[in-house]
């Protein structure tokens, strides 16, 4: 008799508390996932490019795990793991977490069962140095990067999307003054409370973020273009149109290579 690992015992006990219908639904989902192609993707795009929305659609449609370095950092710090403690030490000093620690965190997250069919890296790597380190880590894991998808849109389009956002602070409900306006200007539809224009969504902050994005993005795009990994998608279109382009890229391998 082999004693189960303590973590597996906890998992089995947790499964007993899940409704049978939910378990069956998850088994069916995994059977469907088994027929999906394995894909490892990186999404690149400026603020307001919609890559986060498309990442969620990709995750659900192709059974991939969506890895955001910000979410990973917060989760590992909260969990108190060795890597989380290491990252916390830098964060508490107001310092950037070194690339090596971030790469280790990403590599650890890739081992999760939900990443069996592949991963979507959202917003990472952000520069040439991080891209090189990520390549080395993937080679060590014998993992293959399939494509880097660049959600390309003019700055003025992204600026309109970002600066028009309004948020209800208590609920997190999000509106847009042009594309999804509240029934009463600057008031939440449900509570009637004032909406907030976040500092991060101001014109000044957006333009500074775009300046940084362009400066670091060009070397990154050249790096992946040189590896014939880069695909460009017109992100100025609506969500459904962009999603159609993303699906065509994955299903039919139709790539528009972005020439820097």
Q: Which of 117, 165, 166, 229 is catalytic?
A: 165
Whether 209 is a known active-site residue: answer: yes
Residue 150: alpha-carbon gap to chain centroid: 13
Q: Which of 198, 207, 208, 253 is catalytic?
A: 198
Whether 126 is a known active-site residue: answer: yes
Q: Which of 51, 59, 147, 166 is catalytic?
A: 51
66 φ, ψ to 5°?
A: -100, 110
- Whole-angstrom Cα distance, residue 76 to residue 94? 17
Q: Which of 74, 88, 126, 173 is catalytic?
A: 126
Q: Which of 74, 152, 173, 209 is catalytic?
A: 209
- Whole-angstrom Cα distance, residue 227 to residue 69? 23
Whether 165 is a known active-site residue: answer: yes
Whether 51 is a known active-site residue: answer: yes
- Whole-angstrom Cα distance, residue 241 to residue 233? 10
Residue with tokens 């008031």: 187
Active site residues: 51, 126, 165, 198, 209
């Amino acid at each position: 008799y082999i004693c189960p690992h303590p973590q597996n015992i906890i998992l089995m006990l947790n499964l007993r508390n899940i409704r049978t219908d939910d378990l069956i639904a998850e088994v069916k989902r995994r059977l469907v996932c088994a027929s999906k192609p394995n894909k490892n993707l990186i999404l690149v795009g400026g603020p307001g490019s919609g890559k986060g929305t498309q990442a969620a659609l990709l995750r659900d449609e192709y059974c991939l795990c969506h890895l955001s370095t910000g979410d990973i950092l917060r989760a590992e710090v909260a969990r108190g793991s060795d890597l989380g403690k290491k990252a916390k030490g830098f964060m508490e000093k107001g310092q950037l977490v070194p690339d090596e620690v971030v790469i280790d965190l990403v590599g650890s997250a890739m081992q999760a069962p939900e990443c069996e069919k592949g991963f979507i890296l959202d917003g990472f790597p952000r520069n040439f140095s991080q891209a090189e380190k990520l390549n080395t880590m993937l080679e060590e894991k014998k993992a293959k990067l399939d494509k880097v998808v660049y959600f390309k849109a003019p700055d003025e389009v992204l600026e309109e999307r970002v600066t028009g956002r309004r948020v209800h602070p208590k609920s997190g409900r999000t509106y847009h003054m042009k594309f999804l306006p509240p029934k009463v200007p600057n008031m939440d539809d449900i509570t009637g409370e004032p909406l907030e224009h976040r500092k991060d969504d101001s014109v000044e902050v957006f333009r500074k973020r775009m300046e940084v994005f362009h400066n670091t993005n060009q070397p990154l795009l050249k790096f992946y273009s040189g590896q014939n990994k880069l695909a460009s998608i017109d992100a100025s279109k609506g969500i459904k149109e962009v999603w159609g382009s993303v699906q065509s890229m994955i299903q039919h391998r139709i790539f528009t290579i972005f020439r820097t």
